[in-house]
Amino acid sequence: MFASARDGSDGVDLFVKNVNDDTPPTAVIRLPGDLAPTDWPSEDVIVFERGAPSDLWTVDLSGDSAVAREYLTSENAVSQMSVSPSGDLAVYVSGETGRNEVYVRSFPEPGARERVSTNGGRSPFWSPDGNTIYYWTLGPAEAVKTLLASRVERGPPFVVTRTDSLLAGAYDPDNWDLHPDGDRFVITRQATDLVDAETDDNPAPERFLVVVNWFEELKARMGN
pLDDT at 198: 54
Question: Model's pTM, two decimal places?
Answer: 0.81
> Within 10 A of 121 (CB to CB), how many other CB atoms are there?
26
* Mean pLDDT value across residues 94-110: 94
Under 8 Å CB-to-CB from 122, ≥6 apart: which residues?
80, 93, 100, 102, 135, 136, 137, 173, 174
More confident residue, 5 or 193: 5
Rounded Cα distance between 27 and 46, Å, is 13
Side-chain-side CA neighbours of 184 within 13 Å: the count stands at: 7
> What are the tens digits of pLDDT across the range 160-217?
999 999 998 888 888 899 888 888 888 887 765 544 555 566 666 666 667 778 778 8
pLDDT at 85: 95
Q: How confident is the model at residue 151 (pLDDT cuts 50, 70, 90)?
A: very high
pLDDT at 47: 97
φ, ψ at 138 (rounded to 5°):
-70, 140
Percent of the chain at pLDDT > 90 equals 52
